[in-house]
Amino acid sequence: MSNRFRNWKPSATLALLAVVCAPLPALAVDPLDTFSVKLGGYASRFDTEVSIDGGSLDGTKIDLSRDLDIDPDNTIGLVGFTWRPFEHHEFGLNYYRDDASASKVLERDITIDGDLYEAQATVSAERDVDIYEASYTWWAASRENWALGPRLGVVWYKLRLGLELEADINGNPVADGAFTSKAEADVPAPAIGGGWRWTPAENWRFSADLGWFSTDINDIDASVTYGRAGVEWYPWDNWGFWLDVTANQIDAELKKDNYSGDLDFSDEGVRLGVSYRF
């Protein structure tokens, strides 16, 4: 064996392994990113009350959880990104989808879209909703470790509701599709408020967004309240983890061709996942 390998010491081997395996140092996180992508999960709670009018009949105010046994709690996936093409201007977009279904023996009469479902009848119900969150923030004040500015956001809910009679009040089965009611609604929920970002330590960032809006325009009369608070941790330069707590409350009266009635719901929960930024 050559002298070169014979003189190699265990301490040198350990030193080399330490250098190779050592994680790359985390660089300081700025309050604002040029671009970011987030993937994660959302432990959501979607409490919903609706009434759907039909013809000359007013719809019954229905609590989807209490009256139809639709579980308001769900765990769903979420994807989002932010883009700041100019120093003080940032755009954001998130998307997630929530769906649930249940079967229930009705405890009271329900009128939906002009159709009457009697107490003691068995129905199947489903609720599907696609949610798009879009925002624009003008970071009017941007400093070394914090940023603050006005924010314009909109959460767009594409809601689909369905109810089908499975058995009449005597328990007799009803043929599939023989007696059904369906409704769809696009519900934009704008909110005007502010955004805040703060980096108290080199790889931590805290954030918050708040907004409120009330409108009575054409076929929508609604009030919207929005709030979000979050924390991010970046042990690596571009990759890290994030946690958000969010809540969105909407009280709306809609008069559309495909949906006329009231729609009150809250969309809230905890989100967490992984993010890539630069």
Cβ pair 135, 83 in contact under 8 A: no
pTM attached to this predicted model: 0.84
* Tokens at 106, concatenated: 């009705």
Query: Hey, which residues does 56 pair with through a beta bridge?
Result: none
Pairing verdict, β 115-117 and 180-201: unpaired
Surface-to-core class of residue 131, CB atoms within 10 Å of its CB (0-12 exposed, 13-18 middle, 19+ buried): buried
CA distances from 86 to 138, 140, 203 (A): 10, 12, 23
Residues 215-246 as b or e (16 or more Cβ within 10 Å = b): eeeeebebebbbbbebebebeeeeebebebeb
Query: Which residues have C-beta within 8 Å of that of residue 5, sequence separation ≥ 6?
Result: none
* Tokens at 246, concatenated: 């969010």
Query: Quick one: DSSP state of residue 178?
Result: S
Q: Which domains does the chain have, with CATH numbers?
A: 32-277 (2.40.128.90)
Pairing verdict, β 62-63 and 73-86: unpaired
* Tokens at 58, concatenated: 């007013």
Task: Encode the chain (278 residues) as per-residue pLDDT tens digits.
Answer: 444 434 444 444 334 333 333 444 444 799 999 999 999 999 999 999 999 887 667 889 999 999 999 999 999 999 999 999 999 999 999 999 999 999 999 999 999 988 999 999 999 999 999 999 999 999 999 999 999 999 999 999 999 999 999 999 999 999 988 899 998 888 888 999 999 999 999 899 999 999 999 988 777 788 999 999 999 999 999 999 999 999 999 999 888 766 788 889 899 999 999 999 99
